[in-house]
Amino acid sequence: MQSRLPILIFALVMAAIPHLPGMPPFWIVLLDNIGLTALVAMGLVLLTGVGGLTSFGQAAFVGFGAYTTAVLSTTYGLSPWLTLPLSLVVSGLLAVLLGLVTVRLSGHYLPLGTLAWGLGLFYLFSKLEFLGRNDGISAIPPLSVGSYRMLNPGSIYYAIWVAVILSALLTMNLLDSRTGRAIRALRRGHVAAEAFGVQTPRAKMLVFIHAAVLAGLSGWLYAHLQRAVNPTPFGAQAGIEYLFIAVVGGAGYVWGGVLGAVIVVVLKEVLQSYLPLILPGSGQVETIVFGIMLVALLQLAPGGVWPWLMSLLPERTSGRKPDTSLKLEARTRAQSQSNVLLQVEKARKQFGGVIAVNSVSFDVQAREIVALIGPNGAGKSTTFNLITGVLSATSGSISVLGKKVDNAPPQEIVKLGISRTFQHVKLVPDMTVLENVAIGAHLRGHSGPIASMLRLDRADEAKLLAEAARQIERVGLGEQMHQLAGSLSLGQQRIVEIARALCVDPMLLLLDEPAAGLRHMEKQRLATLLRDLRDGGMSVLLVEHDMGFVMNLADRIVVLDFGTKIAEGTPATIKTNPEVIKAYLGVAA
Amino acid sequence: MNTTIMLFLLQDGITNGAIYALLGLALVLVFAVTRVILIPQGEFVTYGALTYASLAAGQMPGTAKLALAMGIAAFAFDLFVARQALHARLVVRAFLTNIVLPAIVLAVTLYFAGQKPPVAICIVLSLVIVAMIGLYLYRIAFQPLAHTSVLVLLIASVGVHLALQGLGLLFFGAEGQRGPAVLSTSFTAGALRFTGQSIAVYGITIAFIVGLWLFFGLTLYGKALRATAVNRLGARLAGIRTSLSGQIAFLLASVIGALSGILIVPITTLYYDSGFLIGLKGFVAAIIGGLVSYPLTAVAALFVGIVEAFSSFYASNYKEVIVFMLLIPVLLLRSLAAPAVEEEKD
């Protein structure tokens, strides 16, 4: 994704800072605090900015990390290095528990839910006897390597910043991978990601655990920096503060988390030390000014400071084109003698009193282009959603290659080789065309999150990207490969969706109004592409309003009106069918 | 436990629950219309309560000056936004609502401050002052951010909460205050003693619930607010000024908050930072109500109040833990009951 050089320079600068002559020790303390905060904010970037899951509860995970090592290293005398993995595991396990309850909450329940358990856990920390109640735990042993004991802020500085830079690297590696693309697709809703086999609950849980472990790491470091813990820094206020650090820095960017930590920690420090000089005597003036500045900052840069800074730099769009000679293994196909790929029998879908699809039956054969047409509201897109498992049918059955797949989830349907596009384009606008299309090949890759973080996924990843690049060139968007999907015209975005669907290596392609928003030439190119795909052995089922396009392309047409099939046949017979003409044009009384 | 204690706890719980219900309603209202999760709701409570208590004690509340300062800022924002098309009517209207109004209120407050005015005047003045703060707050802090995400609005809400809480300390000091009872009568029924104050709490809560219901069901403004809540763009296309809807929502929320504060400050001592926790309990109720349903929120708030009363009797150490952890099973039920539904975010 990015070159490593800036990070290396950053690491060298951070390593050099304590050795600068005349560096005030107080600055080192500040940098320690920034590092600890940045770790938590980084987790929130992944969780909130990238994954779209807002959490107020991160301070509680810092608390889990800190209290775990505090209890184990004082009461049980364990070495701090032994408690490090234990702190991370405790944070991670509790994230699983809390995640099971909260991650599935949609929309606004989630942040409020996290606020609730964040508060609850804070009170628990301050009431439990073995955690020392409000006084907390003191006399925690310092970190030590051999005989070198990290007793002061200057010596633990390295431990903190090594942790920050390593975590940033691992997090960025994760984002730039198969799993990372699945995570980045979460924010745009479940349906698109699930249509390509992403297990969205698992992906959400993964970011939740990742963020919690980073917070636990911060807590572990905090406990050994302060050598004492008490409940105050793990309360709801702190949880809220971590969130706004991520937002101020730029919630979608790993370095935004670090920058946010710098801005907020430094701003608070400056306000605390200099404001009393300007406005003496008055209590909490710094809180007032801080709050006002926060609001002002958001009004000036609602997207965060990091993306705003980046937009000042000269633009670099020199993404390398993947090596398309690498081949991805073809999807394993189900063995079947049947020539009928898809059989819809008396499918019915009822929403309350509205019957959207009423006992519709039709089939799609191998090497065939079937068009589903009908006036607006005829139930075409609902039929698509029934076939792809987004909605479950009220009654009737749907079979693929002779096997019933009623009410199978979308992730299972795509495994059978049925892929789709959407009527309302569902791409991730801030991902490149290449990355968006690669989501289509999700099921054809194998690397998990750990492999991705450690960069053991590169061979697998290169093949996925090669496949994506090949499909992008096939649909004629090679030029736009490295542009952000959101910057393309709507027509082009529809074509990107087709490339994404082709990455599944499907036997049946479901296209929902693919020609809408295309110009004449583009429509002709699309028709040629679909004919080529059919001649190559693929079948296509498409919903379309452009009659000229459909009549020239389709082998067979199914007509729906008010949820009921009113006609089926070749384009020639449909054109003259009186029922169809009545449905489209009405009939003179 | 005997029945007397149980009845007593129940009564205590219902009184607190009624307050949480009011706050929960305000939160639901503001969220539905503006998508702002109103963390400073708690500050409206303390501002209302402490302004009332200060006035009753014959002191000058700083909030009246704050209202004028915020009004001036709001006036500047109005002028800046309309700088391309300034015309006299707009300027005069902005001047009247943003500067003349708070200036008059400040003058009236100054007049009454020294002479321990009657309870009714204290109540009215406190309500007006906090209402203006709520109105200008929306104009200054949230209206410029109206197009941004819920998350950004939420963070702005945190910033406002910090600033207002700091100002609260500045105005009212670190000591807690109590105010005089709104109604000083009382009577006993069986073992229970009903104070006029608790009767006022019940009465006003019910009046507000009915009032909001009528407002949203019958008036044009209420319907405009509901339309804004359902679809902002659609409402604008239908000619509803969404910024006005936001201002009305904040106005209502601040009046409700201030009123809640005035109702509890005779019962419990309030500090400048008490509002946060009180507001959060309103939150808990609002979440249980799903942030959409008013009656469910009201019922949930009573439940929260009762649970709090009983847990403070049996396990006072864990009172807050129990109240906030109460949410987890509720959320769990909601997760299991509702399948993951796609939210269209285009």
pLDDT tens readout for residues B275-318: 888 888 888 787 777 666 677 778 888 888 888 888 888 877 77
Nearest CA to A298 out of B80, B34, B142, B33 is that of B142
pLDDT at A42: 94
Question: Could you tell me if B291 lies within 8 Å of chain A, comparing CB atoms?
Answer: yes
Q: Is the pLDDT of residue A491 over 50?
A: yes
CB–CB contact A115 B158 (8 Å): no
Nearest CA to B61 out of B113, B103, B101 is that of B113
Residues from chain B that touch A307, judged by Cβ atoms under 8 A, are none
Q: Which residues pair with A148 in a beta bridge?
A: A145
Question: Could you tell me if B318 lies within 8 Å of chain A, comparing CB atoms?
Answer: yes
For an interface test with B, the pick among A98, A114, A117, A123 (most B C-beta atoms closer than 10 Å) comes out as A123
Q: Is the pLDDT of residue A1 over 50?
A: no
Q: Which residues pair with A364 in a beta bridge?
A: A342
Q: What is the dihedral of CA B25, B30, B36, B40, to 10 degrees?
A: -70
pLDDT at A106: 62
Question: Could you tell me if B335 lies within 8 Å of chain A, comparing CB atoms?
Answer: yes
Pairing label, strands A395-400, A403-404: antiparallel
What value does the mean pLDDT take over residues B331-338? 66
Average pLDDT of chain A to the nearest whole number: 87
pLDDT band at B346 (very low <50, low <70, confident <90, very high): very low
Facing residue for A108 by CB, picked from B291, B332, B341:
B291
Nearest chain B alpha carbon to A238: B158
- What pTM did the predictor assign? 0.83
pLDDT at A107: 63
pLDDT at B335: 63
Spell out the SS3 assignment of B145-166: HCCCCHHHHHHHHHHHHHHHHH
Q: Is the pLDDT of residue A262 over 90?
A: yes
pLDDT band at A2 (very low <50, low <70, confident <90, very high): low
Alpha-carbon span B128 to B63, nearest angstrom: 11
Question: Could you tell me if B37 lies within 8 Å of chain A, comparing CB atoms?
Answer: yes
Residue B345 burial by CB count (10 A; 0-12/13-18/19+): exposed, middle or buried? exposed
CB–CB contact B144 A299 (8 Å): yes
Q: Is the pLDDT of residue B77 over 70?
A: yes
At residue A351, φ and ψ (nearest 5 deg) are -110, 100
Alpha-carbon span B269 to A346, nearest angstrom: 68
Tokens representing A349? Answer: 């879908």
Alpha-carbon span A443 to A504, nearest angstrom: 8
What value does the mean pLDDT take over residues B263-271? 87
Amino acid at A567: A
Q: Could you tell me if B209 and B298 are in contact, meaning their C-beta atoms sit under 8 angstroms apart?
A: yes
CB–CB contact A295 B283 (8 Å): no
Alpha-carbon span B286 to B291, nearest angstrom: 5
- What count of other Cβ atoms lies within 10 Å of the Cβ of residue B286? 33
Alpha-carbon span A521 to A544, nearest angstrom: 17
Q: C-alpha distances in angstroms, B76 versus A423, B89, B139, B142?
A: 45, 16, 10, 15
Alpha-carbon span A284 to A272, nearest angstrom: 9
What value does the mean pLDDT take over residues A152-160? 87
What value does the mean pLDDT take over residues B79-108? 88
Alpha-carbon span B79 to B89, nearest angstrom: 12
pLDDT at A182: 93
Which B positions 134-163 lie with beta carbon below 8 A of chain A? 141, 144-145, 148, 150-152, 154-156, 158-163
Amino acid at A381: S
At residue A361, φ and ψ (nearest 5 deg) are -130, 135
Q: Is the pLDDT of residue A540 over 90?
A: yes
Q: Could you tell me if A475 and A529 are in contact, meaning their C-beta atoms sit under 8 angstroms apart?
A: yes
- What 3-state class would DSSP assign to A106? coil
pLDDT band at A414 (very low <50, low <70, confident <90, very high): very high
What value does the mean pLDDT take over residues A302-323? 77
pLDDT 10s digits, A216-258: 999 999 999 999 999 988 988 888 889 889 988 988 889 999 9
Question: Could you tell me if B271 lies within 8 Å of chain A, comparing CB atoms?
Answer: no
Q: Could you tell me if A148 and A89 are in contact, meaning their C-beta atoms sit under 8 angstroms apart?
A: no
The number of C-beta contacts closer than 8 angstroms across A and B is 157
CB–CB contact A251 B151 (8 Å): yes
pLDDT 10s digits, A45-55: 999 888 888 88
pLDDT 10s digits, B185-222: 777 777 677 777 888 888 888 888 888 888 888 888 88
Q: Where are the beta strands (DSSP E) in A84-220?
A: 143-145, 148-150
Alpha-carbon span A267 to A328, nearest angstrom: 51
pLDDT band at B51 (very low <50, low <70, confident <90, very high): very high
Nearest CA to B48 out of B132, B133, B130, B170 is that of B130
Q: Is the pLDDT of residue B340 over 50?
A: no
Residues from chain A that touch B161, judged by Cβ atoms under 8 A, are 291
Alpha-carbon span A270 to A460, nearest angstrom: 49
pLDDT at A529: 92
pLDDT at A281: 58
Q: Is the pLDDT of residue B87 over 80?
A: yes
Q: Could you tell me if A542 and A371 are in contact, meaning their C-beta atoms sit under 8 angstroms apart?
A: yes
- What 3-state class would DSSP assign to B248? helix
